[in-house]
Amino acid sequence: MRRAQPWRKVRAAFGTLAVRDRIRDADAFWHEFRSRAPARAAEPDTVRRTAAGPWSRPGIWRWALAGACGMLVAAWVTLRLFLMGAVSEPNTIKSLDVGVSHSAVLILNDEPSQSTILWVAGMEMRDQT
């Protein structure tokens, strides 16, 4: 078990561990490099292959997902507006039954506001219970 060294000994300790003692000369380095290079090139380079191509760019899948979500929302909004009567059809009175005596019924479509007025004139409320 190693004991903690006092600070004044650190410098001396680093001196004994200095890398310069193990530095190889340039010829030895290149000799080893050239001997190992063919073997390294023959290995399947999976990292390099997966890193190639536009789909590996960082964040592209997030943007693709965001775009898909945006298109989904846009399609939904369009569909909803269409189904909810964004087309310029007026309200329609399909049937009407007035339960009290009256004199006339007026149905009016106001073009500017796209409103419909169903007005029952002359309603008699005397028989109200």
Partner 1 sequence: MKKTSALFATILLVSALSAVAGPTLSIRLVAATKQAAGGTRGLSDVAPVLEQNLPFSGFRHVASTTMSLPATGQTKKLNSYTVTCSGPQHDLAIVVRRGRKRLLSTKVSLQANKPLIVGGFPVEGGKMMLIFLAKP
Interface size with partner 1, residues (CB under 8 A): 45
CB 116 within 8 A of CB 107: yes
Measured from the CB atom, is 28 or 93 closer to partner 1? Answer: 93
CA distances from 27 to 24, 30, 32, 52, 100 (A): 8, 5, 9, 34, 113
How far is residue 46's CA from residue 35's CA, in Å, rounded to a whole number?
A: 22
The reply on whether position 94 binds partner 1 by CB under 8 A is: yes
Q: Which of 90, 95, 96, 94 is nearest to 115 (CA)?
A: 90
Site string for partner 1, 29-68 (x = CB under 8 A): ------------------------------x--x--xx--
The reply on whether position 129 binds partner 1 by CB under 8 A is: yes
CB 18 within 8 A of CB 12: no
Measured from the CB atom, is 25 or 89 closer to partner 1? Answer: 89
Binding site for partner 1 (CB under 8 A): 59, 62, 65-66, 69-70, 72-73, 76-77, 80-81, 84-86, 89-100, 102, 108, 110, 112-121, 123, 125, 127-129
